[in-house]
Amino acid sequence: MLGAVVAVSADLDTRTVLHRIVEAATDLVGARYGALGVLGEDGVFTDLITVGIDDPDLCAAMGLPQGHGLLHALVDDRRPLRVSDMATHPRAVGFPPGHPAMRTLLGVPLTVRDTLYGTLYVADKKDGTPFTNDDEDLLEALASAAGISLENASLYERLKRAAEHFQRRMLPVLPDLAPLQAAARYEPASELLRIGGDWYDAMVLPDGATCVVVGDVTGHDVEAAPPMGQIRNMLRALVGDRYGPPGVIVSRLDRALTMLENPPTATLVLGRIENRRGKYTFGWSNAGHLPPLLICADGDTRYLTPSRHGIPVGIDASVPRFTHETPLPPASTLLLFTDGLVERRDQDIDTGLNDLAEQAARLATAPLDELCDALTTRPGQTFDDDVAVLALRLPGDPNHPCIVV
């Protein structure tokens, strides 16, 4: 019983918790089948988790309980239910064609402080014996612990959604940067405590240049979000008031941060895209951040990695900053991103960078929204850290020769 409770409580992902509850229930009483019906706030079943029925087509055909039958009896009575012969029970109705024949059933409600979260059932002991009082006591004890785990998982999901909403509200809506095209994405980390410090921004400066920035505040929790807002707003004021080379702007940011009692630190890339007589250039300063990726229309890619990188901002205002410059070929795409896009716990970061370049090359001429979606929302993808992505595409003929130096 203790092992079952530990297993159920070992995760905060709701779906995982639900599966572990059903698996623990069938293991505890030696049942062949198990099911957990999940109730929504309106008292209607929203999900059904099963164990012992492996046919996905049958599971799909079963659907959700419709308010009648044994799987809804506990919703009405909120008391344990034990059936020794389902064939003779008046509420044993509604089974779809192909449903396994079941003879005995034991069910208990999943409640926490008078709130009914769902109903837990097991059917047919593997040894063929009927369910006993001891089985009922075990299942009730498990349901009591499982209800708390389910409530914790639900609270965790709500907190994660709230934190993500807070983070998204702090990020800007991209302005019209024409003739440049632009798209951005923010994806939260898969773990709540790693949401908080990544951002992007872009604006047209009074001299006609386009300023872009992607950054990541040190720290991986929601407490990193307010310092992120401070740094982003400081940068906006600095580049709008006395615009200049990116290295100069970052040096001014360093000095401004020293005026704070507890200066935040962050990595960032601040860039300036200029049109000089029809030819575009990108000037940028890198403060301890991953390099931008330049994607040519013909699929050639290159990370913009000069030999002199700066340290993160907020550490030492006396350390010099550098401005680098490179031409941007017509119809090329500039991709700025934070480390959550390429860092994984189980692989070297160079592998992540190479994979990103290869994937981006295949989408060199795809619409920017399609490119950003492909990089951030692949099916089953999880992120160890939150992710910010900013993509900008230059105007021009995509068939123009791409010369990257």
Cβ atoms of 74 and 39 within 8 Å: the answer is no
Identify whether 10 is part of a domain.
yes
Pick the closest to residue 265 from 288, 238, 292, 233 (CA basis).
288
Going by DSSP bridges, is the β-strand pair 324-328/279-287 parallel, antiparallel, or unpaired?
antiparallel
Q: Residue 123 corresponds to which tokens in the numbers above?
A: 């059917």
Q: Taking CA 255 as the corner, what is the angle to CA 253 and CA 261, rounded to the nearest 5 degrees?
A: 105
- Indicate if 5 and 116 belong to the same structural domain: yes
CATH of the domain at 380: 3.60.40.10
Same-domain check for residues 60 and 15: yes
Torsion angle, alpha carbons of 91, 97, 103, 109, to 10: -50
Residue 401 lies in a domain: no
Verify that 201 and 135 share a domain, yes or no. Answer: no
Residues linked to residue 274 through DSSP beta bridges, in sequence order: 281
Strand partners, 344: 347
Which amino acid, residue 64? Answer: L
Q: Are residues 181 and 284 in the same domain?
A: yes
Judge whether 318 and 381 are in contact, CB under 8 Å: no
Q: Are residues 191 and 160 in the same domain?
A: no
Q: What residues make up the domain containing 27?
A: 1-166
Residue finishing a domain among 142, 166, 190 = 166
Whether 143 and 50 have beta carbons less than 8 Å apart is answered as no
Return phi, psi of residue 365, to 5°.
-110, 5
Domain limit, last residue, from 119, 144, 166: 166
Domain identity same for 212 and 123: no
Looking at the fold, whether 148 and 186 belong to one and the same domain comes out as: no
Cβ-based neighbour number of residue 132 at 10 Å: 13
Each of the 405 residues of the chain gets a pLDDT tens digit; together they read: 556 555 555 555 666 777 788 888 888 889 999 888 877 777 777 778 788 876 666 565 565 665 556 666 777 778 888 888 877 776 666 565 656 778 888 988 887 777 787 788 899 999 999 999 999 988 888 887 776 666 666 666 676 666 666 666 667 788 999 999 999 998 876 554 545 678 899 999 988 999 999 999 886 555 666 777 788 888 888 887 767 899 999 999 999 998 888 888 999 999 999 998 889 999 999 999 999 999 999 999 999 998 777 899 999 999 999 999 999 999 999 999 999 899 887 788 899 999 999 999 999 999 999 999 999 876 556 667 788 999 999 998 766 656 544
Residues 178 and 161 reside in one and the same domain: no
Is 193 in a helix, a strand, or coil? helix
Report the candidate in 122, 137, 145, 15 with the shortest Cα–Cα distance to residue 70. Answer: 122
Residue 399 lies in a domain: no
402 within some domain: no
pTM of the model: 0.63
Report the candidate in 357, 392, 387 with the shortest Cα–Cα distance to residue 183.
Answer: 392
Q: Count the domains in the chain.
A: 2
Query: In degrees rounded to 5, what are phi and psi of residue 278?
Result: 85, -5
Q: Is residue 398 part of a domain?
A: no
Report d(CA 215, CA 202) in Å as an integer: 12
